[in-house]
Amino acid sequence: MAIGLKKKFEENRAAAEAARAAQPSGERRHTNPRAIEIVGNETIIELREQLEQAKDRAVQNIDPTRARPSVFMNRHPSAFETEEFLELVEDIRATGGNTVPAVVRRLAGDPSHDFEIIAGLRRHAASIRAGTPLKVYVEKLDDRQAFETMTRENAKRKDLSPWEWGRHYDAGLRIYQTQKELAATNGMSHAHVSRSLAVFRLPDEVVGAFASPGEIQFEWATPLEKAMERAGEKVRRAALEIARQDKRPTAVEVLKALLDAGRGAGRPAGKRKAAGIRRSIQIGKAKGTLWSQGGKTGFELKADLPAEKLDALERFLKTLLA
């Protein structure tokens, strides 16, 4: 495209010069040279702008070490150790570079990097490991445009995990005011945004219990959150214990262990809380509840008792428990 625009620029300039030279001498006297110059300059400026834009959009080879991940990076480091990623490295090494260009934008004020990766983070990492140049499109994008470009690219892929989607959306909330605005602007469902964020925002200890955050499924976030609400400290301890194991359990086994910890499972039988007793009672028009659990007994009655009846109740209890 850049070559085509350059050719067009040269053809326009040559045509303008030829037309001016071909004008009859009489016409030349009545032609405003300044007007011709202004029109010619405007055409030149317009073509130059188009040429620069085309140069930016043309595929370029850059040094991948001079590019850094986006501020909206969503990949977890484990994504760069999978068998699929290692195959990508070998493919890029064999072909001498990536066949599908990444998308980058230029950086200013960073002495270590010239570009920021907007789309193609794995291709970027694979090119560094393979020691090959990185083919890219250079785009002029602000933060919002960069985020939307990345979202479109992510939506085309099937390998992005719920946790990575959540990380992406969490970064996007620096730009958008609400989850709904983020979802609507980027053509995603609010439910997808909400569920992804729930996975990403699980406690670090819980996420770390899994061999990779990519193993955590959308539907696991809610039960894990409830387990944390019931017995957060026990769930954290269980997660840390799993993370210290040399051989990690499967993702399903990790989930079960964490949920069991949240339910109090795994404690010695003598330390488990009794199921407890709870009864509804009614005396005349007054309704109440009797309960006994965990070494405590209670009596609740929805009625106001005068002092003499409270005294009688106290005497009854003393007789009952004597």
d(CA 305, CA 52): 89
- Residue 180: CA count within 13 A, CB half-sphere: 0
Which among 216, 197, 196 is positioned nearest to 207, based on CA atoms? 216
pTM of the complete model: 0.59
Backbone angles phi, psi at 114, to 5 degrees: -105, -20
CA–CA distance, 73 with 76 (Å, rounded to integer): 9
| Percent of all residues in the chain with a pLDDT value above 70, rounded to a whole number | 71
Q: Could you tell me the strand order of the sheet in which 296-301 lies?
A: 277-283, 286-293, 296-301
In the numeric block, the tokens 């969503």 are attached to 74
75, two tokens? 């990949």
Mean pLDDT of the chain: 80
Report which of residues 57 and 183 the model is more confident about.
Answer: 183
Of 4, 173, 281, which is closest to residue 290 (Cα–Cα)? Answer: 281
Which run of H or E residues covers position 121? helix 121-130
**Which pLDDT band, with edges at 50, 70 and 90, does 51 fall under?**
very low
Amino acid at 39: V
Residues β-bridged to residue 288? 281, 301
Q: Which residues of 128-151 are buried (b: 16+ CB within 10 A; e: fewer)?
A: bbbebebbbbbbebeeeebbbbbb
pLDDT tens, residue by residue, 18-32: 656 665 555 444 445
pLDDT at site 273: 47
In the numeric block, which tokens belong to residue 37? 């110059």
How much is the pLDDT for 270?
41
Amino acid identity for residue 128 in this structure: I
Predicted local confidence at residue 294, as pLDDT: 62
pLDDT tens digit sequence for 224-272: 999 999 999 999 999 999 999 988 899 999 999 999 999 864 444 344 4
Q: pLDDT by residue (tens digit) across 195-219?
A: 999 999 999 999 999 999 989 999 9
Q: Once rounded to an integer, what is the mean pLDDT over residues 135-149?
A: 93
Q: Rounded to 5 degrees, what angle do the CA atoms 268, 272, 273 make?
A: 170
Residue 298 confidence (pLDDT) above 60 = yes
